[in-house]
Amino acid sequence: MATPFQGKLERVDACRVRIPRDSVPGMRVDGMIYADETLMKSVKGDPCVAQVANVATLPGIVKRSLAMPDIHFGYGFCIGGVAATDPAGGGVISPGGVGYDINCGVRLIRSDLCRSDVEPRVRELTDALFTTIPCGVGRGGKVKLKGRQLDDVLARGAASVIDRGFGVPGDTEMTEDHGCLAGADPGCVSDRARQRGGDQCGTLGSGNHFIELQVVDAVFDKDAAAALGIEQGQITVMIHSGSRGLGHQVCDDAIRDLRDVPRKYGIELPDRQLVCAPVHSKEGQRYFKGMQAAANFAWANRQIMTHLARQALSAVLEQPWERIGLHLVYDVAHNIAKMESFPVGTVTKTLCIHRKGATRAYPPGHPDVPPKYRRIGQPVIIPGDMGRCSYVLVGQPGAMEHTFGSTCHGAGRLMSRHAAIRAAKGRSIHKELLSRGVYACARSRKGLDEEQPDAYKDVREVVSVVENAGISKIVCRLQPIGVIKG
């Protein structure tokens, strides 16, 4: 079982702490945690630091094992972990480096509405989202996918459901990788995974997943905000969900299937959840292709919910969604493994980038940033807790240099679920949120208690670290006014 980290920790600068390579046997590279003194206090005694060191033992890992400031304890990898492996140098791919909720991610939709347009109708709009978008335990969706239709979603992602009327072609342009990883192979997704996902495409799920109605309450970079179509006082919609039961099963299948694979390739692992296979091996490829299919399912899921959110808001406001300007700003994945190119020494290498609770953050000028945003950098959407705020950032050159084009993904939990429930005893989180100007609809009271604002780190501290470290830049802040939770 996990124990607090006993090895060395060296502060590099105000934003970074190094775990030197010699502090734990088997480390191939240094570990590097992005955290200031305040954030480090909540991290120091936590076993998540040991997880950063464990990841540094993986074969073929390049440069360093990274953790973003929203680091907390995960399985195998910490949450907030980033690791690049070099397939040409025996690098491995690990399902633990992606997590169970493959391509859990977040998207932001803008609008032409301002605060005063919706203020008297926040309840009505939030209720409409709550009744239109299936959420909570066991709630199936309106879209049932079987056989070839499911194969098409697994192969083509968001475009597959757009072809069936859930959105417009322009939506994929504003989605990371156009909402589709081309290497997906539906044949690598088991029957069990298909059965778990069959009626869950277009459903929010539960836990930390949410949809928020928000208001842009501060703009820090007017120029970048304008490029994103965002201004002070504007209403936005944020959707946070992943690949549902299908993705969870793909990960579970892989961990089971890969059980004896490390031994076969002579890989010694400090933790079974780090089970892995060389990227180029047949076992590694099988996971990689299935994981990409699950990632595509997640993009289709968020795409269907986008369509449903547009319908819900349009029905209340009695205007077509196009007239309300409900366009997708961007969609980012935060649990994923992808092949991406980065300079390593004097050459450019194609590496397998694992992001587990971390977001891609490409800088201005990068060819994979949509042309509309290329001048400002790739949008990065950082959900906070439901009482405080969320942020939009853009990628910066430092990310290419130091973090394999990656940044943080959220606030990161601070309290255990039990502690949060204890802290909520005798209180009504629903009423407290109301007094903060947030109307919340939740299927489960316990779920709301567990997700209360105090259960999370202050996202402001997290984003200030990534900005000060030069890996991304804050554009604007979004304040929730309506929340739906499963």
Partner 1 sequence: MSAPDAGFEFQEHTADVKLHVWGDTLAALFQAAATGFYRLIGELVSTDVGETVTIELQAPDATDLLHDWLAELLFRFDTRHLHISEIEFAQISDAYLSATGQGRRVDLERSRFDSEIKAVTYHGLEVKQRRGRYEATVILDL
Which of 36, 103, 30, 118 is closest to 66 using CA atoms?
30
The residue written with tokens 């554009």 in the block is: 475
Residue 458 Cβ, how far from partner 1 at the closest point, in Å?
Answer: 16
Instruction: Give Cα 153 to chain centroid, integer Å.
Output: 20
Cα separation, 127 vs 109, whole angstroms = 18
User: Binding pattern to partner 1, positions 457-486, x when CB under 8 A?
Assistant: -----------------------------x
Q: Which stretch binds partner 1 (CB under 8 A): 286-294, 295-303, 322-330, 408-416?
A: 408-416
Write out the two tokens for 485.
């939770």
Query: Looking at beta carbons only, is 319 or 416 nearer to partner 1?
Result: 416
Determine if 98 is a binding residue for partner 1 (CB under 8 A): no
- Under the binding rule (CB under 8 A), the answer on residue 1 touching partner 1 is yes
Q: How far apart are CA 57 and CA 351, in angstroms?
A: 17
Question: Is residue 105 close enough to count as binding partner 1 by CB under 8 A?
Answer: no
Q: Rounded to an integer, what distance in angstroms lies between the CA atom of residue 7 and that of residue 19?
A: 8
- The neighbouring-strand residues paired with 11 are 17
Q: Which is nearer to partner 1, 297 or 321 (CB)?
A: 297
Determine if 452 is a binding residue for partner 1 (CB under 8 A).
no
- Least separation in angstroms between residue 129's CB and partner 1 is 19
- Pick 43 or 213: Cβ nearer partner 1: 43
Q: What number of chain residues touch partner 1 (CB under 8 A)?
A: 44
Q: 26: closest CA among 64, 62, 55? A: 55
* Minimum gap (Å) between residue 236 Cβ and partner 1: 26
For partner 1, the binding residue among 114, 339, 419, 423 (CB under 8 A) is 419
Q: How many helices (H) and strands (E) does the chain have?
A: 18, 19
C-alpha 305/C-alpha 249 separation (Å) is 21
Only segment of 11-19, 68-76, 211-219, 330-338 that touches partner 1 (CB under 8 A): 68-76
Options 175, 206, 281, 452; binder of partner 1; rule CB under 8 A: 206
In the window 335-374, what residues touch partner 1 (CB under 8 A)? Answer: none
Output the DSSP codes for 32-49.
Answer: EEE--HHHHHHHHTSTHH
Considering the rule CB under 8 A, would residue 169 count as an interface residue with partner 1?
no
245, 377, 379, 395: which one contacts partner 1 (CB under 8 A)? 245
Burial class for 345, CB neighbours closer than 10 Å (0-12, 13-18, 19+): exposed
Place of tokens 């459903």: 203
Between 3 and 6, whose beta carbon lies closer to partner 1?
3
| 4 is a site residue for partner 1 (CB under 8 A) | no
Residue 252 near partner 1 by CB under 8 A: yes
Instruction: Select 42 or 232, whichever has its Cβ closest to partner 1.
Output: 42
Under rule CB under 8 A, residue 28 binds partner 1: no
Contact 205, 304 (CB under 8 A): no
- Under rule CB under 8 A, residue 446 binds partner 1: yes
The reply to whether 196 sits near partner 1 by the rule CB under 8 A is: yes
**Does residue 264 touch partner 1 according to CB under 8 A?**
no
**Is residue 431 classed exposed, middle or buried when 0-12, 13-18 and 19+ CB atoms within 10 A define those classes?**
exposed
3-class SS at 235?
strand
Rounded to an integer, what distance in angstroms lies between the CA atom of residue 389 and that of residue 362? Answer: 23
Q: How many CA atoms lie within 13 A of 379 on its CB side?
A: 31
Beta carbon nearer to partner 1, 78 or 309: 78
The whole-angstrom separation of Cα 459 and Cα 408 is 10
**Does residue 192 interact with partner 1 by CB under 8 A?**
yes
Question: Is there binding between residue 423 and partner 1 (CB under 8 A)?
Answer: no
Contact range with partner 1 by CB under 8 A, out of 84-92, 112-120, 202-210, 373-381: 202-210
Stretch binding partner 1 (CB under 8 A), from 21-29, 156-164, 192-200, 373-381: 192-200
Active site residues: 409
To partner 1, the closest distance from the beta carbon of 259 in angstroms equals: 8
Distance CA 218, CA 202 (A): 31
Q: Are 57 and 26 in contact (CB under 8 A)?
A: yes
SS3 76: coil
Residue 433 CB, nearest approach to partner 1 (Å) = 19
Q: Which is nearer to partner 1, 177 or 385 (CB)?
A: 385
Residues 130-159 that bind partner 1 (CB under 8 A): 136-139
Cα 2 from Cα 286, distance rounded (Å): 30
User: Which residue, 91 or 207, is less far from partner 1 as judged by CB?
Assistant: 207
Residues 69 and 80: their CA atoms lie apart, in Å, by 7
Interface stretch with partner 1, choices 171-179, 188-196, 232-240, 277-285 (CB under 8 A) = 188-196
What does DSSP say about strands 328-333 and 92-93: parallel, antiparallel, or unpaired? unpaired
- Token reading at 215: 């208001």
Radius of gyration of the chain (CA): 21
Question: Contact positions toward partner 1, by CB under 8 A?
Answer: 1-2, 46, 72-76, 79, 100-101, 136-139, 192, 195-196, 198, 205-207, 245, 248-249, 251-252, 255, 259, 271-273, 413-419, 443-444, 446-447, 486
